[in-house]
Amino acid sequence: MLPEFDFLTPNSLAEALAWLAQRAGDAAPVAGGTNIVPDLRSGRHAPKALVDLSRLAELKGIRREDGYVVAGGGVTIAELLGSPLVRSSARPLFEAARLFANPLIRNRATLAGNLADASPAADSAPPLLALDAEVELVSQAGTRRVSLVEFFTGVRRTVRRTDEILAAVRWPVPEPEAAFGYTKLGLRRADAISVVSAAVCLVPAPDGACSRARIALGSVAPVPMRARAAEAFLTGRPLSAETIAEAARMAAGEASPISDLRATSGYRKRVAEVIVRRLLAEAARTPQPQES
Amino acid sequence: MKITAKPLPSVELPELRQVGKPLRRVDALSKTVGATLYAGDYYPTNLLYGKVFRSTIPHGKIRRLDVSQARALEGVACVLTAGDLPRAVLVTDMPGQTGQKRRSGSDAQVLATDTVRFIGEPIALVAAETEALAEQALRLIEIEYDPLPAVFDPLEAMQPGAPQIYPPDNVVARWRIRKGDVAAGMAAADVIVENTFSVPYQEHAYLEPEAGVSWVDERGVINIRVCTQVVEHFRSISLALGVPQNKLRIQGTMVGGGFGGKEDITVEIFLGLLAKATGRPVRLAFSREESILAHSKRHPYVITHRTGVTRDGHITAAEVKVISNSGAYVYLSPYVLLYSTGMAVGPYRVENVSVSSASVATNNPFTSAFRGFGAPQVCVAYEQQMDEIARAIGMDPYELRRRNFIHKGDLTIHGQELTSAAWLEETTTRAVAALGDPTPDWGSFKVGQGFASYMQSYGRITWLHDTSQAWVGLEMDGTATIRAGVPDLGAGQISALAQIVSEVLGVAMKDITIYHTDSAVTPLSGTSTATRQLYMSGNATLQAATAIRKNLLERASRYFEELPEAIDLADARAFVKGHPEQSLRLAELVAMCASEGLPLANLAMFKAPFTGPIDPETGQGQIWPDFTFGAQAVEVAVDTETGEILLLKSAACHDVGRAINPAAVEGQIQGGSSQGLGYALMEDLAVEQGRIKAGSLSEYLIPTACDFPETQVIILESGTGVGPFGAKGIGEPSFTPAPGAVANAVANALGVRIHELPLTPDRVLAALDKTGKRSG
Ligand SMILES: Cc1cc2nc3c(=O)[nH]c(=O)nc-3n(C[C@H](O)[C@H](O)[C@H](O)COP(=O)(O)OP(=O)(O)OC[C@H]3O[C@@H](n4cnc5c(N)ncnc54)[C@H](O)[C@@H]3O)c2cc1C
């Protein structure tokens, strides 16, 4: 059963920030409620007040701004799916949105909720890491930008202060030659928590070598992670099958998965290598088609 | 596999007007618009909310139980413990619907008296003014245990010295079949193939968790409105409550899925106790998590086959050992085990057989009925064994089966003659042929096809002397009413009865009203279990409607001055066959009958064959009224790098005798197929040390619409069943071949067999590692 709590419905971001500041510590934002309501029911989370962000226009919309794509924290997964900008300039995020939960949840679940909840299995995280995204944290004290890699600090822990709202997620518009890939492995084909997920970004140099690589993994570490050593290894090397295989091995080696009901840690490591290898090989072969 | 469909024997089915058509079900509209009230939808005024306090350890003595703080909480109306119900027993055996005695040792405790035997065992009940208060009261109950050694593995539980849950040896039931001479049969074999297979728990995962409301009415009758598969539980509920049977009324609601999980008593006794103790209406509804904790599960099994076979594919002997995990209480384990025992070698003629089976108590969640009732588990084993035998002698798996299929007129291993068509070749060839050519392997994916053939009973065990009653009546305006105690589980149970009445009396489906599932006002029709409702209540309804039809035709024959046989009823009219201009509105005919006092209503009872028990030493004798035969075939692709299994194609073919409503039959087959495929591929309760680790639907994964392609459904109609119009049963059989077909397809894809379900990616990779066949 749901415990009792105050439900605060601010009409503006400023009002929401005021509530959060005033009730610092015992109030939590709620957007789609798809994480926090189950948490309240199970008793894992017991805020005295929920500050409803779901009707704040300031957190909506996806736009281009100075070489960046900026998505409001209140954008839902369904809205990501419907956005031509996401489709063209954040392909892995679009793919992740397609495999996210089910249509009902996608209509409510928000990007900020997914990131702020900071589950190692948050499905928007690996694509956004591969896109080199940063988040915008707003409070009465001002706005700060934190790169997504630094945002996550542990299982369901982030650098966000309780008086802060995750107002937006931003990522640079990818170079036209950048190629991406995304895969989610779950125990069924819809509505399943990821067993392993991965997103990659490869930017080839004119000579075909790798000029930049980003490899992001979900569900294999306490936080959604970048495989830095594998990325460094790839950079400057030709994208041959051998290099790719080695990079995939390294990426899996950087992972530190746990065993749980869904899979053993051994399985996760092994399969992380497989999917990273496949994604890199695919990205190395196919320049990403650019839709306008 | 290249197989062409075997031509069907010519069958002449009588021409019917309503039966055999995919008519809209009588309950379709109200369910579609959300008007149907389910058991959890009733909130009478002055309501109290019930909650159950449950054990958190698998085995232990209750050293101290203190409910005083819970009782003292303002807003708590009552707290009950075992001390408040000195004589209450929970009957877990088959309801004594026809006067049979229940098996000794099969009773359980309503609330734990001094020992708990599984996690989730009820210990105390609370009723309070609000749900929140009831939950708060649960938290105020204090309990301390002295843990007892527990045992979870049935094989360990059978060892001497194991903790005793069911003295003296934890074996809650044994069955044996001894036929022919197994030693001689094995000696005559060229090859002996031995394999052990295991299958896991399964959770029913119906949409609707258990729920109900109870109240005491002005007659002093305790009413319980509940979702149940068994109205007749009112008798054992009255025993638990200490009231006469006619002071206990079950008002069954539409059931949001049963699958056997609502075949045992769930919330009823708790509701009755709380209403009786407080004198107020009480509601009790389980959350999904409590539902998973509280109700039965499909039995896990370990099954060993040792089969002797000649090089030309003749099975000379079969020895089968079957062990099932009964969990902490008996429930229906003995009967489920009997089904497994009788069906242990599958739809094959085997002259020399020995089957030894046991169901063993452990400190696990209790197990009981689940769609198929022990038949699917053994099908998983015998159909994998058939493929392994085929491999061992280098024969095509279908050809091996064809040479051994049982036929009409043959005796089963328990010595029962098959009296209806046994269309094994007809169904199997069609299911396999429907797959078409195998999809070629690609990348790291290996493709395989596999199938399973089966036979399965419908109707209850014949020594239980099953009966069903139904009442049919015509109103003055020519509309019809049916009264039958049938629980409708969503499978179309009541709609089928309406379709039968529509056929016999010529009344449109929309002009038929059916009252159902009420122990006080609808005649008792028996349980919606054992794939018996169409067979039993369909026949009872047919009898009742036919008796009325006889009166109508007799009266009409005088009116038309024609023989009764020359007259027919359709479209709300009586008419002379071949002369539709000579006709009469049904309402007018009804009025004529009424004015002469000719009965326009009839209460009929249908009786299944009544037999004595089987021979306990040899297992020989009749066990079931009749059998359904069929097969399912599937194609899978296995990713040899990740272990994932994709289901590419699925086709099922069953001889349903006669499809009363083909759309409903297809629905059953699609649903049974998905449930069976889910069992093989993903469902995993993860029970460890008696604890269900996948205790919610985010952990216990059942298939979604994205996971499997639609199963191609091929319905055959031999017209030879013992149900109305020659129908056989399909509700449970539709599940049975699916999991074995998947196991065979995966083995076919990988070239290595995984002897354990579910076929998880982890297990696939482990199997490939063992053989060094992993790619990459
Ligand atoms: C059936 C089901 C299936 C699911 N499937 C998936 C899946 O496939 N993949 C996946 O990744 N997740 C899945 N989830 C989890 C969940 O839906 C997502 O994480 C979702 O994105 C959460 O967003 P929300 O808006 O509902 O968050 P809420 O539940 O509203 O909030 C989640 C957390 O974020 C905080 N928060 C919300 N908005 C903000 C903000 N703007 N600023 C700061 N803090 C904020 C809240 O305080 C809370 O701590 C599933 C959940 C369910 C119930």
* pLDDT tens, position by position, B406-455: 999 999 999 999 999 999 999 999 999 999 999 999 999 999 999 999 99
Residue with tokens 């349903």: B656
d(CA A6, CA B267): 34
CB contact, 8 Å: B642 with chain A? yes
Percentage of residues in chain B with pLDDT exceeding 70? 99
B66 CA: distance to closest CA in chain A (Å): 24
CB contact, 8 Å: A248 with chain B? no
CB contact, 8 Å: A2 with chain B? no
**CA neighbor of B348 nearest in space, from B321, B377, B308:** B308
B316 near B186, Cβ under 8 Å? yes
Of the pLDDT bands very low, low, confident and very high (cuts 50, 70, 90), residue B1 is low
Residue in chain B nearest A2 by alpha carbon? B132
**Please, what's the b/e burial string for A113-136 (b: 16 or more CB within 10 A of its CB; e: otherwise)?**
bbbbbbbbbbbbbbbbbbbbbbbb
Output the pLDDT for position A289. Answer: 46
B362 near B151, Cβ under 8 Å? yes
Cα distances (Å, whole numbers) of residue A57 to B59, B522, B566: 56, 58, 77
Q: Helices then strands (H, E): number in chain A?
A: 12, 14
Fold exhibited by the domain A57-172: 3.30.465
Of A185, A191, A261, the CB nearest to B686: A261
Of the pLDDT bands very low, low, confident and very high (cuts 50, 70, 90), residue B772 is confident
Fold exhibited by the domain A179-284: Enolase-like; domain 1 (3.30.390)
B715 near B727, Cβ under 8 Å? no
**CA neighbor of A77 nearest in space, from A51, A114, A119:** A114
The three-class DSSP label of residue B722 is coil
B565-579 residue pLDDT tens: 999 999 999 999 999
Residue ranges matching CATH 3.30.465.10 in chain A: 57-172
Compute how many other C-beta atoms are within 10 angstroms of the C-beta atom of residue B114.
11
**CA neighbor of B533 nearest in space, from B569, B485, B573, B480:** B485
B451 near B676, Cβ under 8 Å? no
B592-645 residue pLDDT tens: 999 999 999 999 999 999 999 999 999 999 999 999 999 999 999 999 999 999
User: What is the overall mean pLDDT for chain B?
Assistant: 97
Residue ranges matching CATH 3.30.43.10 in chain A: 6-52
Residue A288 reports pLDDT greater than 60: no
DSSP state for residue B192 in the 8-state scheme: E
B14-41 residue pLDDT tens: 999 999 999 999 999 999 999 999 999 9
The verdict on a CB contact (< 8 Å) between A192 and B701 is yes
> Which bin fits B761, alpha (ψ -120 to 50), beta or left (φ > 0)?
alpha
Residue ranges matching CATH 3.30.390.50 in chain A: 179-284
**Residue nearest atom 49 of ligand 1, based on CA coordinates:** A117
A168 near A73, Cβ under 8 Å? yes
Cα distances (Å, whole numbers) of residue B368 to B203, B297, B372, B487: 11, 6, 11, 19
Residue in chain A nearest B678 by alpha carbon? A188
State the complex-level ipTM.
0.94
In this prediction, residues B730-756 reach a mean pLDDT of 98
Cα distances (Å, whole numbers) of residue B669 to A76, B67, B157: 38, 49, 37
Output the pLDDT for position B776. Answer: 45
Residue B95 reports pLDDT greater than 60: no
Residue with tokens 């997914």: A114
A105 near A92, Cβ under 8 Å? no
Percentage of residues in chain A with pLDDT exceeding 90? 92
Compute how many other C-beta atoms are within 10 angstroms of the C-beta atom of residue A60.
16
B343-365 residue pLDDT tens: 999 999 999 999 999 999 999 99
The verdict on a CB contact (< 8 Å) between B682 and A1 is no
A43-65 residue pLDDT tens: 888 899 999 999 999 999 999 99
Note the residue count of chain A: 292
Task: Say how many CB pairs under 8 Å bridge A and B.
Answer: 47
Of the pLDDT bands very low, low, confident and very high (cuts 50, 70, 90), residue B96 is low
User: What is the distance in A from the centroid of ligand 1 to the CA of B404?
Assistant: 57
Q: Say what the alpha-carbon torsion angle B301, B306, B310, B311 is, to the nearest 10 degrees.
A: 70
Amino acid, res. B103 = R
**Residue nearest atom 12 of ligand 1, based on CA coordinates:** A122
Output the pLDDT for position A292. Answer: 42
Residue A188 reports pLDDT greater than 70: yes
User: What is the distance in A from the centroid of ligand 1 to the CA of A120?
Assistant: 12
The verdict on a CB contact (< 8 Å) between A189 and B704 is yes
B163-217 residue pLDDT tens: 999 999 999 999 999 999 999 999 999 999 999 999 999 999 999 999 999 999 9
Give contacts of A192 with chain B, Cβ < 8 Å.
701
The domains located in chain B, with CATH, are 1-36+420-462+624-776 (3.30.365.10), 467-607 (3.30.365.10)
Residue A291 reports pLDDT greater than 50: no
The model's pTM = 0.96
> Taking the CA atoms of chain A, what radius of gyration do you get in angstroms?
19
DSSP state for residue A118 in the 8-state scheme: T
Output the pLDDT for position B102. Answer: 87
A100-151 residue pLDDT tens: 999 999 999 999 999 999 999 999 999 999 999 999 999 999 999 999 999 9
Which A residues in the span 253-292 are in contact with B, Cβ-Cβ below 8 Å? 261, 263-264, 267, 270-271, 274-275
Q: Going by C-beta distance under 8 Å and a sequence separation of 6 or more, which residues neighbour residue B467?
A: B97, B98, B526, B536, B605, B606, B607, B608
Parallel/antiparallel/unpaired status of strands B712-716 and A179-185: unpaired
Which protein residues touch ligand 1 with a CB less than 6 Å away? Answer: A 28-36, 38, 53, 73, 100-101, 105, 108-110, 112-114, 116-117, 122-123, 160, 165-166, 191
Output the pLDDT for position B97. Answer: 64
Thinking of the domain A6-52, which architecture would CATH place it in? 2-Layer Sandwich (3.30)
Compute how many other C-beta atoms are within 10 angstroms of the C-beta atom of residue B80.
23
Instruction: Give B359-380 as a 3 state SS string.
Output: EEECCCCCECCCCCCCHHHHHH
d(CA B91, CA B93): 6
